[in-house]
Amino acid sequence: MFASLITDFVNIGYLIHHPWLLLVFVFQLWMFIDALRRQEWLWSVFIFIGFGLSAILYYFLVYRAAAPEATQGFELPGAQSRRRIKELQTQIHHLDNAYHHFQLGDVYFQRGKFSEAEKCYRAALEREPNDIDARAHLGQCLLRQKRPAEARPLLQAVCQENYKHDYGHSLMAYAEALTALNETEAAFEVWQHVVQNHSYARAKVQFAEMCLARNQPEPAREQLNEVIKDDAHAPSFQRRRDRVWVLRARLLLRQLG
């Protein structure tokens, strides 16, 4: 039925006399795209071929059963974070506490708006100067703005206070700041500590690069091979996040032969 509707859709004159078919077409197209997005291959075939009321069955048995996920697929990009920004700005207007400034900074950071994030983190620290999360995230924000000299003392203090902070992400950022400042010996020690306690591709690749710079190909090869092996068994969201590091690992391994 869906395939025949596509043919009818091309025939504008036919649709003028049967406007209800346009609604049917849109509904089936909606369910067909949703089935493809969820990788429900059998359902997508049934909907396309038009086995009976397959689109309606799919709507009730699959689409509605996962309603929260389904609505996300049709939300405008960034709509959720924009709503969150507005919500936090309203809370800041009424309460003006450190927590809401910090949360707003994190939203801006996730969107790559580092100058706005920096302002929020600094506002949070004006209200709670000793907040470890705000200090750590401000350090990461400065680092992303290529200001490692300013980031270094913040990240160093955080890691001295709690080297496991943010599950090792603060320690990785500290190592990156040291690397950017050419403090190679200190950076090497921090990277070594990170890879011994965590399995982040971001850490393994950068540690491998330092090993290669020190003419130590075997530990570098070991770290890079682990990145490739971990990627093969990682969930899809992690593979998307680590894609750039996996690519760098493959390129380095080719250079090593």
- Give the pLDDT confidence of 216-228 residue by residue, as tens digits: 999 999 999 999 9
**Where among 183, 217, 246 does a domain terminate?**
183
**How far is Cα 56 from Cα 32, in angstroms, rounded to an integer?**
11
Angle ∠(209,210,212) on CA atoms, nearest 5: 65
| Phi-psi map region of 166: left, alpha, beta (phi>0 left; psi -120 to 50 alpha) | left
Question: Is 178 part of a structural domain of the chain?
Answer: yes
Q: Indicate whether 91 and 168 sit together in one domain.
A: yes
**Where among 138, 153, 183 does a domain terminate?**
183
Question: Is 146 part of a structural domain of the chain?
Answer: yes
The CA–CA distances, whole Å, from 121 to 155, 177, 238 equal 14, 19, 27
pLDDT 10s digits, 162-212: 999 999 999 999 999 999 999 999 999 999 999 999 999 999 999 999 999
Domain tally, the chain: 3
Q: Indicate whether 17 and 105 sit together in one domain.
A: no
The stretch 139-168 carries a mean pLDDT of 95
Q: What is the pLDDT of residue 213?
A: 93
Q: Indicate whether 157 and 238 sit together in one domain.
A: no
Q: What is the pLDDT of residue 84?
A: 85
Q: What is the pLDDT of residue 75?
A: 39
Q: Indicate whether 91 and 177 sit together in one domain.
A: yes
Confidence of residue 137 (pLDDT cuts 50, 70, 90): very high
Cβ-Cβ contacts under 8 Å for 18 (sequence gap 6 or more): 8
Q: Provide the domain limits for residue 223.
A: 199-257
**How far is Cα 96 from Cα 115, in angstroms, rounded to an integer?**
20
Share of the chain above pLDDT 90, in %: 54
**pTM metric for this prediction:** 0.68
Lowest mean pLDDT across 51-65, 67-81, 236-250:
67-81
Residue 31 has pLDDT above 60, yes or no: yes
**How far is Cα 118 from Cα 115, in angstroms, rounded to an integer?**
5
The stretch 46-75 carries a mean pLDDT of 60
Residue 67 has pLDDT above 50, yes or no: no
pLDDT 10s digits, 97-123: 999 999 999 999 988 899 999 999 999
8 A C-beta contact, residue 36 and residue 28: no
Residue 149 has pLDDT above 50, yes or no: yes
Cα atoms in the 13 Å half-sphere on the side-chain side of 221:
8
The stretch 239-244 carries a mean pLDDT of 88
Pick 176 or 2 by higher pLDDT: 176
Looking at the chain, list the stretches that DSSP marks H as alpha helix, in order from N- to C-terminal side.
Answer: 2-10, 12-17, 20-37, 41-49, 54-58, 67-72, 79-94, 98-110, 114-127, 132-144, 148-161, 169-180, 184-197, 201-213, 217-232, 236-241, 243-256
Q: Indicate whether 175 and 103 sit together in one domain.
A: yes
Q: Indicate whether 92 and 157 sit together in one domain.
A: yes
Question: Is 192 part of a structural domain of the chain?
Answer: no
Q: Indicate whether 136 and 172 sit together in one domain.
A: yes
**Where among 15, 48, 72 does a domain terminate?**
72
Question: Is 228 part of a structural domain of the chain?
Answer: yes
Residue 155 has pLDDT above 50, yes or no: yes
Residue with tokens 């849109």: 26
Question: Is 125 part of a structural domain of the chain?
Answer: yes
8 A C-beta contact, residue 2 and residue 9: no
Q: What is the pLDDT of residue 5?
A: 45
**How far is Cα 31 from Cα 11, in angstroms, rounded to an integer?**
22
Picking from 182, 184, 187, the residue whose alpha carbon sits closest to that of residue 171 is 187
Q: Indicate whether 102 and 175 sit together in one domain.
A: yes
Pick 7 or 49 by higher pLDDT: 49
The CA–CA distances, whole Å, from 5 to 22, 27, 253 equal 9, 11, 52
What's the mean per-residue pLDDT of the chain? 83
Lowest mean pLDDT across 43-52, 88-97, 127-136, 170-179:
43-52
Residue 69 has pLDDT above 50, yes or no: no
Question: Is 193 part of a structural domain of the chain?
Answer: no
Question: Is 79 part of a structural domain of the chain?
Answer: no
Q: Indicate whether 90 and 173 sit together in one domain.
A: yes
